[in-house]
A = this chain, B = another copy of it.
Amino acid sequence: MIKHIPGGVCAATGFTAGGIHCGIRKNRSKRDLALIVSETPASAAAVYTKNLVKGAPLTVTKQHIADGYAKAVICNSGNANTCNADGIQVAEEMSRLVGEALGIAPTDVVVASTGVIGQPLDVTPIKEGIPALIESLSTDGSDTAAEGIMTTDTVKKEVAVEFTLDGKTCRLGGIAKGSGMIHPHMATMLVFITTDAAIAPQMLQKALSSDILDSFNMVSVDGDTSTNDMVTVLANGLAGNAEITAEGGDYTVFCQALAAVTTELCRMIAADGEGATKRLECLVTGAADTATAKTVAKSVICSSLLKAAMFGADANWGRVLCAIGYSGGAVDVNRVDVSFRSAKGTIPVCVSGAGIPFSEEIAKEILLEKEIDILIELNSGDATATAWGCDLTYDYVKINGDYRT
């Protein structure tokens, strides 16, 4: 059984976290620096953006966790430290400062940055903020850490679960930031996950690499794949279960717990998409294979036209069919059924690729809700997939029309 619990990245035994305003951002009420620390060495795994333009912190993190272990995560918001000539140097310096303050090796530090691309990141405010950052660490500091990594996010994103491995109670929790430039490809946004489960680094990496294919890689806010996407997991083993070193029952339970957290974070990221008023979830069933189901779900959730229609609560299912048609998936469009669903009910709008009569009034009532499911039955097999996204609104344009200034 997987039970939701509070605590975010501090839910697991042996983790503390904190966040402060150090001065990277001008707005003094906005935290811009976060730290997560494990009291013992933790197995570490990470996945990174597939964008060829990669933030310097990703390169440094990759080197630091090459040995499979880490003890701390530092992350600033307000500046992505990407496309800067001195990027690597700054990311290394951030690791060195944290290592020195915590008395650990700089190579045991995961480093991340998020914010505007292409403006040099001045390390001075971070350096001067380190004492206050260390001071902020506590077992209920997940909240402030989650705030410290936010950019255009309007809500902080934290989830944690409790589960049992080898008779021991384990906990796994995460925080995420992500609102715009969201169209992950093999990695995503910034997500930091901690657990006290004992799991060997290579199994942790396997679990994470597999999980993201169905979680973060199925989210899209705007079709733009960020340069700084990264998901990391630290597992310190303090729950006391026998270390997971191979596939089997314990590994399966661990993967389920991981999926419970990542899926919920996906929903939160989609709902908080830049300017979004609605969370969209596209559920594809009856596909010939999983690849087709995913391709279709992702194509529909990415359609600007459908996203704008959802903003207007307009049951324009022709745009769903259109997006299925250009998805690249091998679909028999004459078998496709489409329905819209929300807390108000479900309304079928298309059967066998053609429109059916439906009440526009009822459709409107369903689509005025904040959480809309787009149900697509391909009637061609048993494979399924889910993708998450949001509507396209005036505010998306407003937020992104003048982000830098």
Binding site for B on A (CB under 8 A): 50-54, 80, 82-85, 116-120, 180-181, 183, 185, 222-227, 302-305, 308-309, 311-312, 314, 316-319, 321-326, 331, 333, 350, 353-355, 360, 392-394, 396-405
Contacts and interface: CB of A to CB of B under 8 A. Distances in A.
A265 to B, nearest CB: 21
A317 B355 CA distance: 43
Given A117-B318, A314-B404, A318-B83, A52 B326 contact: yes
Given A53-B322, A225-B326, A309-B402, 10 more contacts: A53-B324, A83-B321, A117-B322, A185-B326, A223-B223, A224-B303, A224-B322, A225-B325, A360-B405, A392-B400
A233 to B, nearest CB: 24
9 contacts: A116-B316, A222-B305, A223-B223, A223-B304, A224-B304, A304-B400, A314-B405, A392-B400, A397-B397
A116 B53 contact: no
Nearest to A116: B318
Nearest to A405: B314
B397 A392 contact: yes
A376 to B, nearest CB: 13
A118 B355 contact: yes
Prevailing SS type, chain A contact patch:
loop
Contacts of A84: 354-355
A86 to B, nearest CB: 9
A180 B398 CA distance: 20
Contact of A82 (B80, B118, B318, B392): B318
Contacts of A227: 318, 321-322, 325
Given A322-B227, A405-B314, A400 B185 contact: no
B397 A326 contact: no
